[in-house]
């Protein structure tokens, strides 16, 4: 069975933090095309920035998601297309994404 886990989708190669932050709005729209929809998003997600894994002078866009590995992998191509850079999937520490874990917990309780 393919259980939901916390993953990071990392997009490295931004010139600086401002450029990585600028890429957040199109990614947010990709993940949630209708920000006024009823109920929670299908996939709990969050956006952040970090140092580029390969070059500390550059920045990375980090998308946190709580979903199955299969669904997380499906997000790599569209996120890469929106940013014009390759996106990679990394399993993340759930304690770094407590808001996603809590959102998922609430959704499971409401579904019961």
| pLDDT for 77 | 97
Spatial separation of the C-alpha atoms in residues 110 and 22, rounded to whole Å: 34
Residue 63 has pLDDT above 90, yes or no: yes
**Count of domains observed in the chain:** 1
The model's pLDDT over 3-47, given as tens digits with 9 standing for 90+, comes to 889 999 999 999 999 999 999 999 999 999 888 888 778 889 999
Residue 70: give its domain's CATH number. Answer: 3.30.70
| pLDDT for 108 | 63
CA angle 50, 52, 101 (to 5 degrees): 40
Confidence grade of residue 112 (pLDDT, cut at 50, 70, 90): low
pTM recorded for the entire structure: 0.88
Task: List, in sequence order, every residue forming a beta bridge with 99; answer none if it has no partner.
Answer: none
Helix extents (H) in 32-86? 69-83
| pLDDT for 106 | 73
The model's pLDDT over 74-105, given as tens digits with 9 standing for 90+, comes to 999 999 999 999 999 999 999 999 988 888 77
| Containing structural domain, residue 81 | 5-111
């Amino acid at each position: 069975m393919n259980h939901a886990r916390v993953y990071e989708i990392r997009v490295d190669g931004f010139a600086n933090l401002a450029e990585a932050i600028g890429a957040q709005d199109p990614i947010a729209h990709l993940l949630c095309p209708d920000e006024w929809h009823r109920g929670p998003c299908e996939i709990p997600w969050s956006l952040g920035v970090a140092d580029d894994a390969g070059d500390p002078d550059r920045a990375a866009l980090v998308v946190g998601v709580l979903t199955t590995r299969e669904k997380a992998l499906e997000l790599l191509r569209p996120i890469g297309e929106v940013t014009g850079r390759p996106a990679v999937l990394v399993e993340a520490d759930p304690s770094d994404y407590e808001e996603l874990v809590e959102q998922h917990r609430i959704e499971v309780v409401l579904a019961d």
